[in-house]
Amino acid sequence: MRPLRLGLSQINPTVGDLEGNFARVVAGIERARQMGVDLLAFPEMVLTGYPPEDLLLKPAFIENAIERTRELLPHTRGMTVVVGTVDRDFDLYNVAAVLHDGQWVGTYRKRYLPNYGVFDENRYFMPGTRNPVFVRGGTVIGVNICEDIWYPGGPVEEQVLRGGAEVIVNLSASPYHAGKAQTRKRMLCTRAADNLAVVCYVNLVGGQDEIVYDGGSLIVDEQGQVLAEGLMFEEDLVAADVDLDSVFNARLHDPRLRKGRALDAASEITPRIELPVATHLLRPEPGAEGAGGGVAVEVTAKPALERRRAAIQRELVPEIYDALVVGARDYVRKNGFETVVLGLSGGVDSALCACLAVDALEPRQVVGVSMPSEYTAAASQEDAESLARALGIRFYTIPIREVMASYLRALTPTFEGRESDITEENLQARIRGNYLMALSNKFGWLVLTTGNKSEVSVGYSTLYGDTAGGFAVLKDVYKTMVYQLARHRNALGSGPAIPERTITRAPTAELKPEQTDQDTLPPYEILDPILRLYVEEDRAVREIAGLGYDEDLVRQVVRMVDRAEYKRRQNPPGIKITPRAFGKDRRLPITNRWRG
């Protein structure tokens, strides 16, 4: 047998916190050492946090990141540790540093640099050109980074066919979107089976601005079977024992891989780096005389690995809910806030945001504010108060009627001869925004905005009103999904918090008498599919209409989306849960005459 104990440490770093990230890595190494791990891997750029963006244009940041990598060396005695970091010579690289028994023995430079969606790696890095493998006690290990494993061929196939790699270690920072984990797992199992290699995939976990990383690290055997799987949305240390003889035996039947072992090991494309034996892990063979006598053999006694519970196959709605909780929690925590505040209108969006905030933090850290106007229904105030009571959060009522009347008195001379219209409606939203920002300034609370993706898409919001705030929890959540998430939250063991009436009554901004959203917008059951097709898939009007939607309605929706680009640019960041969120995923000019 050729046993090897593999470990994957999925941790939650903070961009720019080199000291804090270093400490988390050291803690991960020590925990893995206690478990007897031979080869331990950390995620992509874990020491810097990902993505560090223009911090990478600061020489001092780069120097400190490289120095922290070197400072890990004393902690790697007796182990092989692969850690994501940056390195440079005449240019800058996204790298996996291979640290072995106190030495920095080699570096893999990321080959495929993604430059789509939230990624912008060509702005900062040069791609690697060499593809080394590392030999540890006769076991050949290939190391690569994130995008390098997503496509057949490329670095993985080179490392296997030309370098003889039996274990592939992939360091990743793979942003979450709904359903991606299952797609990723299928890809990794395919990559392992196609190459008859053990694949180890370690992913970041936690929130960074609008991005959430879901963890879900995997160890997959050469048959494509999952040996161990990390938790989603939680820090975790995944470990498994593998027998590399199984890989050897499987490859005896594959002519590609038998030939691969005979290729020139000194290939410039796939250089082989031998890892020295860790001498302090050796002891004399039993019966040898003296400490230095006899033949040294590696100590193999290891503690038994704890049995891990089987990975949970998550349904889509609970998965999205957990992603939103993690994204909200980390945005608040990593930016130094202790308390969040949000307006509670009695509607489903603000109710769901309050539930997410409580689940991300604690009830004492959440403040809800009702700001009734003359158009606010008694049912709305009752539902807001009932929600706050059920969640155990602080709750304030600050009416806006008198302030609204003062605004109108002040503006009446200027508005003379003009009918009341959306201007007066927007005044209400802006007064509420002012109230919330005043509370934020006075107490240092973070304002959560409550608008959803359907509203953000078509501009159904008021600049400097309901868009005023620091973080938009539901920015990438369509209204139809809001209702599903609300139902899910009410079904949790803690019991219903959102009043049933909040979920079932017609959605309304209550800015004028008898107002509902559908006075302005199509029903959300029709609007949301059109938005997905246009915003996320870039379908043309005629294509969307060809799928059964009224063409005039589609054109109306598309016009609203296009006109609202200037509003979206001024919205706060929010959590990405779809393949294409507003922000870095979708970059369109404000001044733009194209109509598709």
Catalytic residues: 44, 110, 146
Q: Which residues contact 476 (CB under 8 A, 6 or more apart)?
A: 210, 453, 574, 575, 576, 577, 578, 581, 582
First and final C-alpha spacing in the chain: 62
Q: Tokens 């949305």, residue? A: 233
Strands 236-243 and 3-10: antiparallel
Kindly state the tokens that stand for 88.
């440079």
d(CA 502, CA 515): 16
Side-chain-facing half-sphere of 266: CA atoms under 13 Å: 0
SS3 502: helix
Q: Coil, strand, or helix at residue 203? A: strand
Q: Compute the distance between CA of residue 174 and CA of residue 186 in angstroms, rounded to an integer.
A: 15
Q: Quick one: which of 227, 246, 247 has its CA closest to 238?
A: 227
Displacement of CA 425 from its chain's centroid (Å): 37
Instruction: Spell out the residues 6+ positions from residue 454 whose beta carbon is closer than 8 angstroms to its own.
Output: 460, 478, 479, 480, 521, 524, 527, 528, 531
Distances (CA, A) of 527 to 457, 517, 555: 10, 12, 12
3-state secondary structure of 146: helix
Token readout for 197 is 């290699």
Confirm if 528 and 557 have CB atoms less than 8 A apart: no
Q: Are strands 296-298 and 471-472 parallel, antiparallel or unpaired?
A: unpaired
Q: Could you give the angle at the alpha carbon of 320 between the alpha carbons of 317 and 321, nearest 5°?
A: 85
Instruction: Find out whether the peptide bond into 372 is cis, omega within 30 degrees of 0.
Output: no
Helix (H) or strand (E) holding 227, with range, is: strand 226-229
Q: Where are the alpha helices (DSSP H) in 310-368?
A: 316-334, 348-360
Write the DSSP assignment of 236-296 as a string of letters. EEEEEEEEHHHHHHHHTT-HHHHHHTTS-TT-SSS-EEEEPP-GGGEEEPTT-SSTT-S-E
- Burial of 236 by CB count in 10 Å (0-12 exposed, 13-18 middle, 19+ buried)? buried
Residues facing 172 on adjacent strands = 203
Question: Which residues are paired to 574 by β-bridges?
Answer: 472
HSE, CB side, 13 Å, CA atoms: give it for residue 72: 35
